[in-house]
Chain A
Amino acid sequence: MSRVLIVEDDAVTSAEISAALREHGFAVEHVCDGRQGLLRAAAEEFEAIVLDRLLPGGLDGLGVLTAMRAAGVETPVLILSALSGVDERVRGLRAGGDDYLSKPFEAIELTARLDALLRRRARATTGSGQETRLRIGDLEMDLLKHSVTRGARSVDLLPREYALLEHLMQHAGEVVTRTMLFEAVWNYRYDERTNVIDVHISRLRRKVDAPGEAPLLHTVRGAGYVLRAPE
């Protein structure tokens, strides 16, 4: 079970986050201020840290992050903040954060992003991710030829659809939220207008899951999408 450290001063928020993460299958530890957060992060082994940007006392989220990275702690950090500015996000990522989520957020967005962080780390340590072919069930993507086939059928995709499918295939089996997709595929970030992504997805779905074929691209209600091989 993955252990996650939550550094958050607001009792209600931290209780909610803890509950959501436990439900998702994480073991959760919680501290209320930056000093303790830094001490525990340095002393113990965590798979990921959820760090509030604004913390009481002398050491705020960015301070904890900077000190942690300076001390050589490489645990992935997801920053939570009520400050939603792009500058804020850039500052957080520059200080060594791995992802940034602005409050208020939905639990599913947090767990999906944590999953992505953990997998990214796992991929980085095993050295995989260098494949030239991605395969989910009978769906196959050739990264060199930029071609996609499903069984014997060739799937013709527009460049953006290809990028979308590639991201989903890279994260096969994981829930990918609309904002994550938008960030990864369009290189813009914003939290609204999810229905437009849905239209892109349904277009992609029509091409990937032809009538009569076992569906691979699934909608996760209230969250996003997952590309999964049939059971």
Chain B
Amino acid sequence: MSSVHLSDIRRTTSFRLAVLFLAVFGAAGAMLIGYLYWQTAGYLSSRVDAALAEQTARWSLFDAEKLLRELNGHTARDPASREPYGLFSATGRSVAGAIDNVRLVREFDRPFDFSLNGPDGKPQPLRGMAHVLDDGRVLLLTRDVSSVREFDELMVRAIASGAALILVMGLLGAVALGFGAKRRIDAITRSIERIVDGHLSERLPLGGSNDDVDHLAVLVNRMLGEIERLMGEVKGVCDDVAHDLRTPLTRLLAGLERAERGGLGVQEYSELIRNASEEARALLRTFRALLRVSEIENGARRAGFTTVDLSRVAADVVEFYEPVAEERQVTLSITAPAGPVWLQGDGQLLFEAVSNLVDNALKFTPTGGRVAVQASRSEDEVSLVVRDNGSGIPLDEREAVFRRFYRSEKSRHAPGNGLGLSLVAAVAKLHKLTVELHDAEPGCEVVMRGEA
């Protein structure tokens, strides 16, 4: 197996799709988490702000003495100055509380952030609110917001590491998908290359997951099957043609060579020429029949389809062959329903096909036998049956008789070119009819059947 380069993976559709999904999913996730973060953090700080505002409003109503008492009480209860307060004179001098620097006050009646160095020397985040009292003094109240800040940081860290994890996992997934896709495409490419090299029996590999690529592969495999079948048929036909035309050509050549050697009388020459042209004519007829079979098989003739009465065609055939049957002393009969048996088709070709069947049946039915043609129709089906009580077709030859030039041992000496049933099969296929051979015990029964 060839090694897979990362750059190859990067070009696969699966990888690109995975990355695209990663980007879309990442953006949506970022938006969701951002919104959650904004809402949560905002809620926490608004709680702090509300508490500050409430306390400021309450304390500014205290008289000077009570305020001082409360302040000192608070300072005493908070020796570590986690939430230091401050009271300043109108000139900015510290009056009470743990905060003695009035410059920390940035604005009045609105919460603001600042920090003080705590007892352990670390900066301590605080949120404060300052208010100018009635007597001109300035009151500064604070809240310890280190836990809010910590929560913020925790959340940001969690989001960042989560995002990093998703990114890594997503990319890994994309690479894995790309790798898998690349491997499948490579396998398919190798199969196709082998097919192009002429190994028509090769098929595209299936992933087994029944996904869209599998569906496509199954379809292509079906197409390959049909192509292989056709190629096989063409090859078979070529072989058959080569084989079957050799005999008459050899005979033709032998006659011509005899004429070439000379020394014959006029009578003999004209006999030779007549024989030669008879052979050539027979060859031409065979070729023409062969051409017709392939022409019909390629299906282009469906364009000329009209509504045809199958029972009318069958009656025409029977009428056409009636004298032949009489000459052979075979009873040729037809049964058909009262009305027409409509079929979309080519009357010409149907006539030819039914003729071939009747012709065959007459050929293989002994004197005193009978051949029955039956056209019938049911609600959703039309059928045509040609039945004889002749020698029948052995089971193992029933497939083969439809092959071009196939001639059973029995029929080898009967006139014909071995193309009759090939033509029947071709015409039937063109009309979407099935052809079955049955044993009529004794004799043979051919059934053509199709949708009405």
Per-position binary interface string of chain B over residues 246-260, scored 1 when its CB falls under 8 Å from any chain A CB and 0 otherwise:
000000000000000
**Chain A hits for B355, CB < 8 A:** 193
User: In chain A, residues 178-217, which have Cβ atoms closer than 8 Å to a Cβ of chain B?
Assistant: 186, 188-193, 195-196, 199-200, 203
Stretch of B321-329, B384-392, B397-405, B440-448 at the chain-chain interface? B321-329
Stretch of A17-25, A46-54, A57-65, A83-91 at the chain-chain interface? A83-91
Q: Does A156 contact B (CB under 8 A)?
A: no
Known contacts A84-B292, A84-B295, A190-B348; is-contact A200 B303 (Cβ 8 Å): no
Most buried by A among B303, B320, B321: B320
**Chain A hits for B359, CB < 8 A:** 193, 196
Q: Is the CB of A85 within 8 A of B295?
A: yes
A90 and B305 alpha carbons, distance in the complex (Å): 12
Q: Does A10 contact B (CB under 8 A)?
A: no
Q: Does A106 contact B (CB under 8 A)?
A: yes
Counting contact residues on chain B (CB < 8 A from A), the size range is 20 to 34
Stretch of B42-50, B79-87, B119-127, B281-289 at the chain-chain interface? B281-289
Least Cβ–Cβ distance between A5 and chain B, in angstroms? 26
Q: Does B242 contact A (CB under 8 A)?
A: no
Using CB atoms, name the residue of chain B closest to A102.
B288
Using CB atoms, name the residue of chain B closest to A90.
B304
Known contacts A84-B295, A199-B324; is-contact A188 B304 (Cβ 8 Å): no
Q: Does B268 contact A (CB under 8 A)?
A: no
A106 and B291 alpha carbons, distance in the complex (Å): 17
Q: Does B244 contact A (CB under 8 A)?
A: no
**Chain B hits for A199, CB < 8 A:** 323-324, 327
Least Cβ–Cβ distance between B414 and chain A, in angstroms? 13
User: In chain A, residues 85-104, which have Cβ atoms closer than 8 Å to a Cβ of chain B?
Assistant: 85-87, 90, 102, 104
User: In chain B, residues 259-313, which have Cβ atoms closer than 8 Å to a Cβ of chain A?
Assistant: 277, 281, 284-285, 287-289, 291-292, 295, 300-301, 303-304
Name the one of B285, B316, B324 contacting A192, with C-beta atoms under 8 angstroms: B285
Q: Does B342 contact A (CB under 8 A)?
A: no
Interface of B is mostly: helix
**Chain A hits for B351, CB < 8 A:** 188, 190
Known contacts A188-B351, A193-B355; is-contact A200 B287 (Cβ 8 Å): no
Q: Does A160 contact B (CB under 8 A)?
A: yes
**Chain B hits for A104, CB < 8 A:** 284, 287-288
Least Cβ–Cβ distance between A124 and chain B, in angstroms? 27
Using CB atoms, name the residue of chain A closest to B288.
A191
Name the one of B304, B320, B348 contacting A196, with C-beta atoms under 8 angstroms: B320
**Chain B hits for A222, CB < 8 A:** 277, 281
Q: Is the CB of B320 within 8 A of A86?
A: no
Name the one of B277, B288, B300, B347 contacting A85, with C-beta atoms under 8 angstroms: B300
8 contacts between A and B (CB under 8 A): A84-B288, A85-B300, A87-B300, A186-B316, A190-B348, A192-B288, A200-B320, A222-B277
- 3 nearest A-B pairs in the assembled complex, by CB-CB distance: A87-B304, A199-B323, A104-B284
